[in-house]
């Protein structure tokens, strides 16, 4: 039953990050939509992506509202990748080249601009399976984001401690980054 509920989870995340960052990136092109392994290869070649010290190719990703993976260079902002539009998920992804294809070796929901919940994995999985790419069963690192009701600071919850790092106010148990 839990997997059925998780499978039905769909939420569109609006950008909740810095307005200054969003405005400064308004002219940047959207991330490249990846529809196939060939699209991924082309993006890697055209943008001259190189493997890191562990042999992985890092990128910033979003899953757009039509459930497609979009990529930009890793040090780019998610809001630019999404063209300032709402997303189904966002984070960082690391591709491992294998033979003539790639697989997803690591993937996170780390995006302080969209603050997607770990449950957004189901949408990421659908996007990866369209390509298709081998991938983990979940985010390899999950982040939980909460906005402090006291000082409005965005927090990453660590060690299940729902307490604001700035003012020590208790953080809510449910996602609230859009308020």
Q: Report the residue count for the chain.
A: 179
Gyration radius (Cα) of the chain, Å:
16
> Is the pLDDT assigned to residue 169 strictly greater than 80?
yes
Question: Tell me: the pLDDT tens digits for 18-73?
Answer: 899 888 887 788 999 999 999 999 999 999 999 999 999 999 999 999 999 999 99
pLDDT for 26 equals 77
Rounded to 5 degrees, φ, ψ at 38 are -60, -40
Q: What residues does each domain of the chain span? A: 8-142, 146-179
> Is the pLDDT assigned to residue 3 strictly greater than 60?
no
- Tell me the average pLDDT of the chain: 93
Residue 100's CB is within 10 A of a number of other CB atoms, namely 7
> Is the pLDDT assigned to residue 7 strictly greater than 90?
no
pLDDT for 151 equals 97
């Amino acid at each position: 039953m839990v997997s059925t509920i998780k499978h039905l989870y769909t939420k569109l995340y609006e950008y909740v990050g810095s307005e200054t960052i969003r405005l400064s990136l308004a002219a940047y092109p959207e991330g490249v939509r990846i529809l196939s392994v060939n699209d991924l290869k082309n993006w890697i070649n055209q943008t001259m992506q190189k493997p890191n010290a562990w042999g992985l190719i890092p990128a910033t990703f979003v899953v757009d509202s039509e459930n497609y993976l979009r990529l930009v260079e890793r040090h780019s902002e998610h809001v630019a990748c999404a063209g300032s539009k709402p997303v189904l998920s966002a984070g960082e992804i690391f591709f491992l080249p294998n033979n003539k294809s790639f697989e997803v070796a690591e993937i996170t929901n780390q995006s302080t601009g969209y603050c997607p919940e770990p449950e957004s994995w189901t949408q990421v999985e659908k996007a990866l399976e369209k390509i298709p790419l081998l991938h983990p069963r979940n985010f390899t690192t999950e982040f939980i984001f909460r906005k402090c009701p006291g000082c409005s600071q965005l927090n990453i919850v660590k060690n299940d401690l729902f307490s604001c790092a700035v003012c020590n106010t208790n953080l809510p148990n449910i996602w609230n980054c859009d308020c």
